[in-house]
Amino acid sequence: MISYPNGKIFRQANIKKERKQNNIKYKAGNRGMALEDDINISNSFYDEKGLCLITKRPTPINVVKVDYSKGATITNAYYEKQSTTDYNGIYKSRYIDFEAKSTNNKSSLPLSNIPKQQIEHLKKVITHGGIAFFIISFNTRNEIYFLEAQKVIDFIKNEDRKSLPYEYIKENGHLIEQGYLPRLDYLKIIDKLYF
């Protein structure tokens, strides 16, 4: 268990449970889960402190069959593609929307990791006046970057490449401070860029 400064408690068991659950999905390489955990825990911390309200969208699942004799147990279903992004919410009256990506690649983030509809979604967020970005983890470097969605949109528009180079992210993005609580202090970067 982690004791929060304001006395509330965040149960390690929940983190473990969530990790276990999500592992099912991310079995292939287990990429992304550590990053997702860190963001979720950071968001819970921010929420407890009353700083912002940012939540993870549940993974969309298409339910085919439910067994009511077993207390509404879903017995046949499959994962659907997320057509939006993983996270959204509100901070200082501004709409926040972002996607978390993680790679074991040292030199770039393959653009195949970013579905077209996510780019379209983030473009719309910008059009409507929201704050849109990516959180990108280079696992082998232990470096996590905040990169404005516009920078990704510009790159895709101007370059005919299959991946986003590490150097581009480093130059155009912002290294996120990693700590105990919050684990990833990305609000600090939003403050610097937008307020």
Dihedral of CA 178/182/183/185: which sign?
negative
Nearby residues of 120 by Cβ (< 8 Å), 6 or more positions away: none
Could you give the CA distance from residue 38 to residue 31 in angstroms, rounded to a whole number?
13
- Smallest CA-to-CA distance from 15 within 31, 39, 46 is with 39
Among the listed residues 13, 65, 81, 160, the single contact to a second copy using CB under 8 A:
65
Q: Is 180 in the site for a second copy (CB under 8 A)?
A: no
Stretch that binds a second copy, among 98-106, 121-129, 160-168, 171-179 (CB under 8 A): 121-129
Does 116 engage in binding with a second copy (CB under 8 A)?
no
Stretch that binds a second copy, among 55-63, 109-117, 144-152, 183-191 (CB under 8 A): 55-63
Q: Which of 39, 41, 125, 135 binds a second copy (CB under 8 A)?
A: 125
Query: Rule CB under 8 A: is residue 124 a binding residue for a second copy?
Result: yes
Tell me: does residue 99 bind a second copy (CB under 8 A): no
**What gap in Å lies between CA 183 and CA 43, rounded to an integer?**
9
Question: Residue 7: what residue type?
Answer: G
In contact, 123 and 135? CB cutoff 8 Å:
no
Residues forming contacts to a second copy in the complex (CB under 8 A) are 21, 24-25, 27, 47, 50, 52-53, 55, 57-63, 65-66, 68, 71-79, 84, 88-95, 97, 121, 124-125, 127-130
